[in-house]
Structure 1
Amino acid sequence: SNLSWSTNDDNLRLAFSSYGQIVDSIVMRDRDTGRSRGFGFVTYSSSAEAQAAIASLNEQELDGRRIKVNLANARA
């Protein structure tokens, strides 16, 4: 979370790609405006890769913003 409005799908994938094999990545956008909602999802092929990305990228800067990286929680 806390992604810059300028962060796009490609920037997100590039930033996270050094920590493992990415299965999917997306910056969530508003349906009406197309503007970033400030968060996205990255799916790795293993939980170890996801943990490495969390440990390395949480509270680091991406596109001028300090991002928060954690595991996604399932919606109730």
Structure 2
Amino acid sequence: MRIYVGNLPYSVNDDELRSVFSQFGELVAAEVIRDKFSGQSKGFGFVDMPNKAEADAAIKALNETEMKGRKLTVNEARPRAERPRGGSGRY
């Protein structure tokens, strides 16, 4: 199950995110999303857990908890909405 983690402190890295969620079970991946040019955290990330029961437990336990002074938003990730590709719109 893919989990969305929002309102992350900008100082949090992938390893810290993994550490927080690993106490609830096995993780496939933990990634803080970063700006592709600056490398700065965008303040959210995703965690992949293969066991739905463990993922649900992590969501329930961590949603609205505080991490480095920020209240986390933790829920099941929703599929990304289709959006038009960039471009000038001219042909």
TM-score tier, shorter chain, comes to over 0.9
Q: TM-score, normalised by structure 2?
A: 0.80
Moved more, 30-39 or 57-66: 57-66
Alpha-carbon distance, 1:7 to partner: 0.6
More helix by share: 1
1:68 alignment partner AA:
T
Alpha-carbon distance, 1:25 to partner: 0.6
Distance 1:63 1:16 in 2: 15
Say if 2:46 is the partner of 1:68.
Answer: no
1:56 alignment partner AA:
A
Q: Which structure has the bigger radius of gyration?
A: 2
Partner of 1:40: 45
* Structure 2 residues not aligned, in runs of 5+: 1-5, 82-91
* Structure 1 residues not aligned, in runs of 5+: none
Say how many residue pairs are matched: 76
Say if 2:14 is the partner of 1:15.
Answer: no
Distance 2:26 2:18 in 1: 10
RMSD: 0.8
Q: TM-score, normalised by structure 1?
A: 0.95
Distance 1:15 1:63 in 2: 12
